[in-house]
Every structure is written in structure tokens, then in C-alpha cells.
């Protein structure tokens, strides 16, 4: 929700510099990667517990 605002504010605040946007978007990519890894771990754990309960 705030991503477009921050992405607009950074170029106005740091005129002619590219690194603030690079750091910002790298951070966003890192958060996305962590969320994907966490979701996969949760899915794997849920699938394993469901298969163990189904075997009983």
C-alpha cells in the first residue's frame, strides 16, 4: 500500500541518485523471498501432518 508512495518519494528526495531505489526494491524482493520460503515450509508441514493423520 505504501510502496507506490515510497517509490515516488525516493526519487524526489534523492534527485539524480539511483541507489535509494535500488536498495528499496532489493528490500522488497527480500521480503517477498522470505514470504515464499515461509509459505512453502508451512505448506510442506501441513501436507506431512495431513498424510500422517490419513495413515492412522
- Yes or no: say if 24 and 10 are a contact pair by the CB < 8 Å rule: yes
The pTM (predicted TM-score) of the whole model is 0.72
Which pLDDT score, from 0 to 100, does residue 36 have? 97
Chain mean pLDDT for the chain:
90
| 5-50 pLDDT, tens digit each | 999 999 999 999 999 999 999 999 999 999 999 999 998 887 777 7
Domain that includes residue 24, residue range: 3-55
In angstroms, the CA 42 to CA 9 distance is: 36
Q: What is the largest CA-CA distance in the chain?
A: 64
**Structural domains counted in the chain:** 1
Q: Provide the pLDDT confidence category of residue 54 given band limits of 50, 70 and 90.
A: low
Which pLDDT score, from 0 to 100, does residue 13 have? 97
Amino acid at each position: 500500500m505504501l510502496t507506490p508512495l515510497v517509490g515516488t518519494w525516493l526519487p524526489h528526495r534523492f534527485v539524480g541518485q539511483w541507489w535509494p531505489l535500488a536498495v528499496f526494491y532489493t528490500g522488497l524482493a527480500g521480503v517477498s523471498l522470505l514470504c515464499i520460503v515461509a509459505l512453502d515450509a508451512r505448506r510442506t508441514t501441513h501436507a506431512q501432518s495431513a498424510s500422517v493423520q490419513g495413515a492412522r
